């Protein structure tokens, strides 16, 4: 580890903390439906959408109606994307003449981008046409991200409203987030990437002569526009197979820093928005403090392990850190930081190969996802996932002080606790169940390229990534098979919507409750004790469930490494 590496990490966190309140203020304006400076330009566009679709943005919805509209919207997008991918070979915008995707791969990809997972069982540049990238995938990058933020707004209203029967309007929330937040930032972001050397063209490829005198075809496409929303919306699906390790997606150290910042930007801001929505910004800072503690702990372990290097190579006389699977232009610190950022959020973009990390270095990205993608988390999904843990934390605190638990003025009763447990239990049940199944079936065992603990880790990481809606992978798993495409697609759907529906039910239940003022007997939810309890609950509920699987995978790998054994 170096001072330069730690400076990068501290600079990264410092910039985000400075931007938390400004982005939180903008998000709060959208949460309340207030005018922004952009309404002068985009207001007519918003009203035009409502007129064309027959939507009244002022018509509030109860949680059931909100959930039904959200589900129907996502099902319609899934069907559209599946059709585009299957018909790719006969559609325009296909300069390379690529064929349509197989049914299982099209299903997996359509579910993946609908759920904001962006898992890729294919190489983007050799599988997807320009039209498929733009219409089939990039549209999801915007709308799945907007859906996540809209859902966070719905839960905020549940906590903030008193004796209310509604939690907002899904269509209005999604439209405003897309028009006034995601699109404007991405336009500027795209221009920055183009200026930095990222391609933005409808051309399929350019032929060049290499230094050796050979003729090479270099693939191009509308990369910058997809890259911007890929990072800002914590999507992660790369235009190229190498993702953000590819120089056409992430060419410089500056673009690398900006990409990492953009992954966390909205997640940081939403914590402040929550505090503002419930009338106490200290509540938001307390949640952010717990998130940052978990994040810095993960970065420390990953950076330490990658900088220490591989003991097997040290025994062979090769000193230094672990540079396997990493780009020289980024180095160990920036690669370790990126890996923790992308898995602490539900992004899944990578600038290095997680499968090539040391055993414990690769364990942290895996563990981040297994915590429930709540260490900052995806846009919207992170904060509403963390609030589910907060409900359980305040329930535990209420048991300790011997009174009905309360959180930001709302009594937390058995209904909310049961729903929170139901939402949180989806991850361990589906991850461990499908990993176990794939570890004994021949179709599952045919996937990993490595045997033993590391091969198990590849299977475990795949289902962890799918259920956690992350999308990154231990690249040693051959996932483009009917078995994995189908099962991972089901896992992604469960991981997204079987958490959302109980969460919306909690929002509806809380909105109907009266406000309960704090009293001398109330458990404080803004100080250091509360932050420590939050961290502990996340680690216990999100972590202990996975200790058996971690022992079989990364920890067994680590023991093999220090004994000088190869995978």
Could you read off the pLDDT tens digit of each residue along the chain, which spans 567 residues? 889 999 999 999 999 999 999 999 999 999 999 999 999 999 999 999 999 999 999 999 999 999 999 999 999 999 999 999 999 999 998 988 899 999 999 999 999 999 999 999 888 888 999 999 998 899 999 999 999 999 999 999 999 999 999 999 999 999 999 999 999 999 999 999 999 999 999 887 888 888 888 888 888 889 999 999 999 999 988 889 889 999 999 999 999 999 999 999 999 999 999 999 999 999 999 999 999 999 999 999 999 999 988 877 777 777 788 898 899 999 999 999 999 999 999 898 999 998 888 888 888 888 889 888 899 988 999 999 999 999 999 998 888 777 778 899 899 999 999 999 999 988 888 998 899 899 889 999 998 887 777 788 889 889 999 999 998 888 778 889 999 999 999 999 999 999 999 999 999 999 999 988 877 777 888 989 999 999 999 988 876 656 656 555 565 565 555 555 544
pLDDT at 37 (0 to 100): 93
Q: What gap in Å lies between CA 90 and CA 332, rounded to an integer? A: 44
> Cβ distance 234 to 145 under 8 Å?
yes
Helix (H, G, I), strand (E, B) or coil at 98: coil
CA distances from 136 to 87, 110, 176, 299, 554 (A): 11, 8, 22, 34, 36
Strand partners, 410: 407
Q: What gap in Å lies between CA 495 and CA 425, rounded to an integer? A: 10
> Cβ distance 452 to 458 under 8 Å?
no
- R_g over Cα of the chain: 23
Contacts of range 8-12, beta carbons closer than 8 Å, 24 or more positions apart: 8/257, 8/333, 8/334, 8/337, 9/296, 9/299, 9/303, 9/333, 9/337, 12/257, 12/260, 12/261, 12/337
Helix axes 170-177, 63-86, angle to 10 degrees: 60
Secondary structure, 3-state, 316-343: CCCCCCCCCCECCCCHHHHHHHHHHHHH
Q: What gap in Å lies between CA 230 and CA 133, rounded to an integer? A: 12
Q: What gap in Å lies between CA 109 and CA 316, rounded to an integer? A: 43
Containing 258, the helix (H) or strand (E) segment is: helix 253-277
Largest CA distance in the chain: 80
Q: What gap in Å lies between CA 511 and CA 513, rounded to an integer? A: 6
Q: What gap in Å lies between CA 519 and CA 499, rounded to an integer? A: 32
Strand partners, 477: 448
**Per-residue DSSP letters for 111-142?**
HHHHTT----SS-HHHH--HHIIIIIIIHHHH
pLDDT at 276 (0 to 100): 96
């Amino acid at each position: 580890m170096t001072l330069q590496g730690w400076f990068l990490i501290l600079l990264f966190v410092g910039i985000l903390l400075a931007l938390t309140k400004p982005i939180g203020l903008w998000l709060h304006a959208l949460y309340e439906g207030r005018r922004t400076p952009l309404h002068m330009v985009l207001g007519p566009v918003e009203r035009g959408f409502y007129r064309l679709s027959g939507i009244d943005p002022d018509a509030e919805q109860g949680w059931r109606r909100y959930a039904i509209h959200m589900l129907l919207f996502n099902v319609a997008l899934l069907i559209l994307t599946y059709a585009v991918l299957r018909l790719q070979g006969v559609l325009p915008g296909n300069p390379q003449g690529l064929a349509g995707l197989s049914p299982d791969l099209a299903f997996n990809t359509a579910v993946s981008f609908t759920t904001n997972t962006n898992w890729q069982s294919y190489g983007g540049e050799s599988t997807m046409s320009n039209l498929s990238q733009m219409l089939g995938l990039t549209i999801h990058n915007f709308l799945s991200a907007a859906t996540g933020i809209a859902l966070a707004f719905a839960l905020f209203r549940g906590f903030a409203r008193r004796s209310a029967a509604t939690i907002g309007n899904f269509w209005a929330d999604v439209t405003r987030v897309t028009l006034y937040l995601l699109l404007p930032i991405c336009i500027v972001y795209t221009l920055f990437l183009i200026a930095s050397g990222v391609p933005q063209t409808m051309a399929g490829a350019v032929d060049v002569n290499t230094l050796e005198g050979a003729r090479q075809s270099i693939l191009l496409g509308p990369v910058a526009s997809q890259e911007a929303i890929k990072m800002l919306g914590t999507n992660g699906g790369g235009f190229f197979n190498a993702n953000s390790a590819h120089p056409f997606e992430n060419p410089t150290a500056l673009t690398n820093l900006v990409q990492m910042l953009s992954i966390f930007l909205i997640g940081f801001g939403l914590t402040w928005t929550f505090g503002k929505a419930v009338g106490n910004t200290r509540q938001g800072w307390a949640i952010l403090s717990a998130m940052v503690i978990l994040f810095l702990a993960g970065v420390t372990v990953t950076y330490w392990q990658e900088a220490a290097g591989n003991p097997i190579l040290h025994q062979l006389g090769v000193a230094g850190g672990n540079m396997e699977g990493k780009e020289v232009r980024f180095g160990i610190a920036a690669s370790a930081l990126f890996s923790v950022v992308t898995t602490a959020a539900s992004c899944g973009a990578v600038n290095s190969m997680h499968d090539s990390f040391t055993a414990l270095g690769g364990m942290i990205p895996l563990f981040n996802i297994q915590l429930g993608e709540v260490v900052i988390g995806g846009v919207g999904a992170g904060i509403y996932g963390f609030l589910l843990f907060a409900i359980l934390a305040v329930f535990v605190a209420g048991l300790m002080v011997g009174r009905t638990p309360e959180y930001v003025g709302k009594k937390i009763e058995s209904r909310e606790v049961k729903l929170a447990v139901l939402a949180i239990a989806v991850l361990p049940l589906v991850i461990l169940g499908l990993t176990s199944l794939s570890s004994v079936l021949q179709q599952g065992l045919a996937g990993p390229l490595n045997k033993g603990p590391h091969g198990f880790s590849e299977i475990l990481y795949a289902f962890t990534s799918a259920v956690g809606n992350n999308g990154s992978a231990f690249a040693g798993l051959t996932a483009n098979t009917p078995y994995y495409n189908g099962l991972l697609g089901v896992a992604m759907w469960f991981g997204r919507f079987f958490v959302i529906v109980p969460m919306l039910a909690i929002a509806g239940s809380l909105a109907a409750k009266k406000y309960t003022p704090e009293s001398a007997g109330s458990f404080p939810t803004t100080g250091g004790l509360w932050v420590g309890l939050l961290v502990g609950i996340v680690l216990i509920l999100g972590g202990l469930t996975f200790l058996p699987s971690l022992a079989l995978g990364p920890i067994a790998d680590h023991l093999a490494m220090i004994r000088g054994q190869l995978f």
